């Protein structure tokens, strides 16, 4: 995600998966089949989901955990998806709530909705799932959308349908990674999966989606059928006034859907230029299509596998940088996963740094590498100076999203300090080792979730022994 903050300085685990250990190297992928219908007059979506989960660990599994991100929008949620700073903008019609209700889970011994904030669906299996075996569950659910311009919600012009379904928690060293929502950053950590989705809705909508899809229409309803392979999520944006502009980048089809854009050709060119540039610089783009959709959204943009949202409220001069940032996330999030709840700098710092590289390579979009770096340096120094006067600035980078004091601190640590870190790495090791290290990272971790140590090891393999520099930044020891 990219936030354009208007900075004003004045202004658990209740049901753990016992016995689950580190993910093994087995390649079987999770499979989702979702058949849903959206009812706009009720702001509701009902769906039947079949999910096949392979046991890729070394131990039997007795239960499965799913994230219920939609429950963060419910009344009384402890971890709201929108901060107080953004709430007045995002909740354009005043208070509004959403939720997800699990009607039934078949193929299981039972289920509970719990976790730290009613954010986890825990499914007890009928029998232990041994390594290399798979289990298929059927999950019936109903998701209610709040009137909110956010990742999931009904906006004034569009409906954002992302994280509307139970998402299997990613597998970590100590079992499933069960995370609460956070208004700081993107708390979503998911293993790659294969999806088929059938989404029925009234005729008249244009739908932006990731994956490959086709639309059919019958008796006043339209049904979108989507296949998306090796993705961390499926995402949809529905709108009655969305216009489409298409192009290609290399051999990849690119669609730009927009509500209002004085120069859509320029935006499309920024999309295709950034996709081509990052393919050349980091390694080939990993999905069959790329879609960017302009939508009702309070932040700059938001990334999904093969798709990005950009805010309809962006100033036109900010669009190329936001597009470049979100497109870079196709590498640093979509293809190469990381734990963005625990180590947000790993993908946000790299995405923002990649946007600086793009600015340097394409000055026609009105910026430069030096300007982007200078913005991060001055922003970070202002943050450090301000916070040092009060409680002492905590500049550690490896900490959970919920441990940041707010979006101002989060932005300066994960984005700005991240940009400075990658600039210093490049300055220290030189061009060849730096870009070889990043190419190693893409080649080794596409389709996986990489730790900070994995990233550092990729630079090491490129001949750059740079662990000390990373540590001095992430542990908050260096002076900038």
Spatial neighbors of 130 by CB under 8 A, at least 6 apart, are 55, 60
Exactly one of 161, 275, 351, 421 binds Zn ion (CB under 5 A); which one?
A: 351
Instruction: Rank residues 137 and 351 by Cβ distance to Zn ion and give the closer one.
Output: 351
Give the C-alpha separation, 266 to 100, whole Å: 39
- Specify the pairing of strand 193-202 against strand 243-249: unpaired
Binding status of residue 17 toward Zn ion by CB under 5 A: no
1 forms part of the interface with Zn ion (CB under 5 A): yes
479 burial (CB, 10 Å; 0-12 / 13-18 / 19+) is exposed
Rounded to a whole number of angstroms, the minimum distance from the CB of residue 103 to Zn ion is 34
Residue 149 or 326: which CB sits closer to Zn ion? 326
To Zn ion, the closest distance from the beta carbon of 351 in angstroms equals 5
* Interaction between residue 151 and Zn ion (CB under 5 A): no
- 139 vs 344, beta carbon nearer Zn ion: 344
411 is a contact residue toward Zn ion (CB under 5 A): no
Task: CB nearer to Zn ion: give 205 or 290.
Answer: 290
Give the interface size with Zn ion as a residue count (CB under 5 A): 4
* Positions in 364-393 near Zn ion (CB under 5 A): none
| Distance, CA of 361 to CA of 368 (rounded, Å) | 8
Should residue 308 be labelled a site residue for Zn ion when binding is judged by CB under 5 A?
no
CB-wise, 1 or 292, nearer to Zn ion? 1
**Taking CB under 5 A as the rule, does residue 336 contact Zn ion?**
no
- Tell me if 302 contacts Zn ion by CB under 5 A: no
- Cβ proximity to Zn ion: between 73 and 410 the closer is 410
Compute the least distance from the CB of residue 317 to Zn ion, in Å.
19
Q: Give Cα separations from 207 to 230, 259, 262, 294, 361 (angstroms).
A: 21, 12, 21, 12, 33
Per rule CB under 5 A, is residue 197 in the interface with Zn ion? Answer: no
- Round to whole Å and give the CA distance between 207 and 429: 45
The candidate with the shortest Cα–Cα distance to 44, out of 175, 180, 202, is 202
Least distance (Å) from Zn ion to the CB of residue 380?
17
> Cβ of residue 419: shortest distance to Zn ion, in angstroms?
12
Backbone phi and psi for residue 268, each to the nearest 5 degrees, phi listed first: -60, -40
- Residue carrying the six token digits 């783009």: 285
Contact (CB, 8 A) for 1 and 303: yes
Closest distance of CB 102 from Zn ion, Å:
30
> Is 17 or 302 the residue whose CB approaches Zn ion more closely?
302
Tell me whether residue 2 or residue 289 sits nearer to Zn ion (CB atom): 2
Residue among 460, 370, 377 nearest 417 (CA):
377
**Considering the complex, what minimum distance in angstroms separates the CB of residue 223 from Zn ion?**
32
CB of 338 or CB of 436, closer to Zn ion: 338
Q: Are the C-beta atoms of residues 204 and 238 closer than 8 Å to each other?
A: no
Contact 300, 1 (CB under 8 A): yes
Q: CB count, 10 Å around CB of 294?
A: 28
Query: Any contact of residue 2 with Zn ion (CB under 5 A)?
Result: yes
Rounded Cα–Cα distance for residues 108 and 102 (Å) = 14
CB of 348 to Zn ion, least distance (A): 5
Select from 82-90, 136-144, 283-291, 341-349 the region that touches Zn ion (CB under 5 A). Answer: 341-349
Residue nearest to Zn ion according to CB distances in the complex: 1
Applying CB under 5 A, which part among 47-55, 310-318, 345-353, 365-373 lies near Zn ion? 345-353
Helix (H, G, I), strand (E, B) or coil at 443: helix
Helix residue ranges per DSSP H, 283-368: 319-328, 345-361
Q: Which stretch binds Zn ion (CB under 5 A): 1-9, 140-148, 187-195, 423-431?
A: 1-9
Report in angstroms how near the CB of residue 3 gets to Zn ion at its nearest.
8
The smaller minimum CB distance to Zn ion, of residues 2 and 387, is found at 2
279 DSSP β-pair partners = none
CB of 51 to Zn ion, least distance (A): 27
d(CA 437, CA 244): 37
d(CA 15, CA 113): 9
Token pair for 445: 């971790």
Q: What is the binding site for Zn ion (CB under 5 A)?
A: 1-2, 348, 351
């Amino acid at each position: 995600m990219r936030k354009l903050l208007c900075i004003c300085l004045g202004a658990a685990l209740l049901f753990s998966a016992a016995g689950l250990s580190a993910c093994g190297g087995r390649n079987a992928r999770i499979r989702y089949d979702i058949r849903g219908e959206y009812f706009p007059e009720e702001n509701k979506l009902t769906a039947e989901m079949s999910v096949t989960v392979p046991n890729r660990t070394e131990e039997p599994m007795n239960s499965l955990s799913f994230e219920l991100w939609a429950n963060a929008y419910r009344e009384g949620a402890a971890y709201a998806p929108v901060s107080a700073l953004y709430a007045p903008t995002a909740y354009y019609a005043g208070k509004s709530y959403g939720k997800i209700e699990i009607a039934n889970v078949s193929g299981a011994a039972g289920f509970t909705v719990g976790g730290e904030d009613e954010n986890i669906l825990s499914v007890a299996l009928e029998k232990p799932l041994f390594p290399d075996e798979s289990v298929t569950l059927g999950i019936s659910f109903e998701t209610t959308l709040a009137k909110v311009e956010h990742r999931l919600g009904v906006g004034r012009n569009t409906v954002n349908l992302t994280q509307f379904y139970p998402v299997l928690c990613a597998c970590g060293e100590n079992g499933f990674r069960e995370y609460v929502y956070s208004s700081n950053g993107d708390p979503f950590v998911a293993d790659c999966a294969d999806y088929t989705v059938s989404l029925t809705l009234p005729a008249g909508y244009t739908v932006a989606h990731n994956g490959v899809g086709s639309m059919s229409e019958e008796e006043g309803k339209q049904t979108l059928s989507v296949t998306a392979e090796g993705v961390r999520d499926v995402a949809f944006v529905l709108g009655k006034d969305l216009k489409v502009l298409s192009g290609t980048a290399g051999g990849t089809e690119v669609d730009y859907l927009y509500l209002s854009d004085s120069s859509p050709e320029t935006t499309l060119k920024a999309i295709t230029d950034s996709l081509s540039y990052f393919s050349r610089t980091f390694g080939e783009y990993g999905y069959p299509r790329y879609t960017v959709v302009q939508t009702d959204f309070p932040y700059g943009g938001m990334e999904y596998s093969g798709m990005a949202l950009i805010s309809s409220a962006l100033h036109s001069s900010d669009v190329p940088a936001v597009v470049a940032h979100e497109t870079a996330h196709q590498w640093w999030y979509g293809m190469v996963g990381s734990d963005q709840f625990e180590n947000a700098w790993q993908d946000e710092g790299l995405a923002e740094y990649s946007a600086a590289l793009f600015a340097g390579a394409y000055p026609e979009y009105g910026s430069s590498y030096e300007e982007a770096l200078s913005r991060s340096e001055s922003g970070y120094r202002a943050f450090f100076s301000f916070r040092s006067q009060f409680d002492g600035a905590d500049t550690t980078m490896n900490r959970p999203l919920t441990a940041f004091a707010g979006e101002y601190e989060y932005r300066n640590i994960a984005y700005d300090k991240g940009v400075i870190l990658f600039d210093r790495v490049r300055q220290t090791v030189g061009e060849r080792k730096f870009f070889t290290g990043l190419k190693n990272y893409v080649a080794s971790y596409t389709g996986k979730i990489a730790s900070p140590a994995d990233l550092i090891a990729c630079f090491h393999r490129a001949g750059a022994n740079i662990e000390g520099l990373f540590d001095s930044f992430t542990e908050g020891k260096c002076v900038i």
